[in-house]
Amino acid sequence: MKEMENAVPRPSSFDGYTCDPILKTRLLEHIQAARVKGVLPPHMLFSGLPGTGKTTVAMIMAKTLNLPMFRFIGCELKKAAQLKELLKVPDCGAMLFIDEIHSISKEISELLYPIMEDRQMSSSTDPTLTLYLNPLIVIGATTEPGSLEKPLLDRFTLKFTIPQYTGMQMIAIVKEMAAKMSAVIYTSDAIIAVAKRSKNVPRVAGNLIFQINDSAIANNVPLITYAFVKEVMDRNGVTDDGLDGTDRKIIESLQQYDTLGLSTLSSLVGEDPDWISKVYEPYLMQRGYLLRTPKGRTLTARGQTLRF
């Protein structure tokens, strides 16, 4: 089950953004220092698993700095002409946000070098013509920081990894999300129940809340309790610790075949190999169910005993 984007509204300020406190402190310091100096903060790269808030923090930064954001997805950014909108950057500056920046084309990667270093850009119609840009901060987000070419990686002054969320942080995130959903109220036990099923990923938590909220509205249930969360999650195939249908297929395939390579496992499960390795395997490993070995994926003793 691939998570839907924006199932629940994102936080719009650092006050409502729950994350690693050291990360937040560092970001706020760089923003404040830039204001004092009268410049934009340096270029930043955020890495982390899918759904952990890389895009959210970039959007909060743009709003905090009062900057327009030019937003792209790396795999869709192929030609220099796609960046012509940067010529419209206002005098106050702007943010160029590239999600999954490791997947940009070589042409775009080489175009970014002078943009990030000297605010210069070659004309897409006349390569001999150099265009000068207004102030610009480039924010990159990636699930594969090791895949970036070193020249591009080196041009990011600041590199941050989004740390794994703690149980208490997830409870705070779910509480904030639940408060934004209309027509229903969540009890404290219900919030904890959702947080425990969220795999420590905010996007997953938002999707679960969306499902629970819609079920409550459809059935005229104004108060979301622990019992209601469990009923909806059980019906939707989500276990008490957050395992869903794809997790179940992974576990059951490995229970049957013992050890499998990623490509074979993805064929049996019916999911993209990258999606399995980036989204599902990290949590299964954290829970102590799965191991990656030189021979392939295999289950721990705990994983072998799981029954659904």
Domain at 220, CATH number: 1.10.8.60
* Residues 257 and 171 placed together within one structural domain of the fold: no
What letter would DSSP give residue 202?
H
pLDDT of residue 76: 92
No. of helices (H) and no. of strands (E), the chain? 13, 12
Q: What is the pTM of this model?
A: 0.87
Q: Are 256 and 265 in contact (CB under 8 A)?
A: no
Q: How many domains does the chain have?
A: 3
| Residue 9 domain-assigned (yes or no) | no
- Is there a single domain that holds both residue 183 and residue 283? no
Q: What is the pLDDT of residues 155-202, one digit of tens each?
A: 999 999 999 899 999 999 999 999 988 789 999 999 999 999 999 999
Same domain? For 154 and 89 the reply is yes
> Can you give the residue range of the structural domain that contains 227?
167-235
Instruction: Decide if 116 is inside a domain.
Output: yes
Is there a single domain that holds both residue 190 and residue 116?
no
Read off the pLDDT band of 259 (50, 70, 90): very high
Where is the domain boundary, 126, 161, 196? Answer: 161
Same domain, 92 and 199: no
Final residue of a structural domain among 138, 161, 184 = 161
CATH at 295: 1.10.10.10
Reported as a pLDDT band with limits 50, 70 and 90, residue 4 is very low
**Quick check: is 2 in a domain?**
no
CA-based R_g, the chain, Å: 22
Q: What is the CATH number of the domain that holds 132?
A: 3.40.50.300
Q: Please tell me the total number of residues recorded for the chain in this structure.
A: 308
How far is residue 147's CA from residue 296's CA, in Å, rounded to a whole number?
Answer: 22
Examine residue 4 and state whether it is found in any structural domain, yes or no. Answer: no
pLDDT, one tens digit per residue, over 45-101 is 999 999 999 999 999 999 999 999 999 999 999 888 888 889 889 999 999 999 999
**What CA–CA distance (Å, rounded) separates 17 from 9?**
12
CA 95, chain centre distance (Å): 18
- Per-residue model confidence as pLDDT tens digits over 102-138: 999 988 999 999 999 999 987 766 767 788 899 999 9
Q: Where are the alpha helices (DSSP H) in the chain?
A: 21-37, 54-64, 106-118, 150-154, 167-180, 188-196, 202-218, 226-235, 245-257, 262-269, 273-275, 281-286, 301-304
Residue 1, in any domain of the structure: no
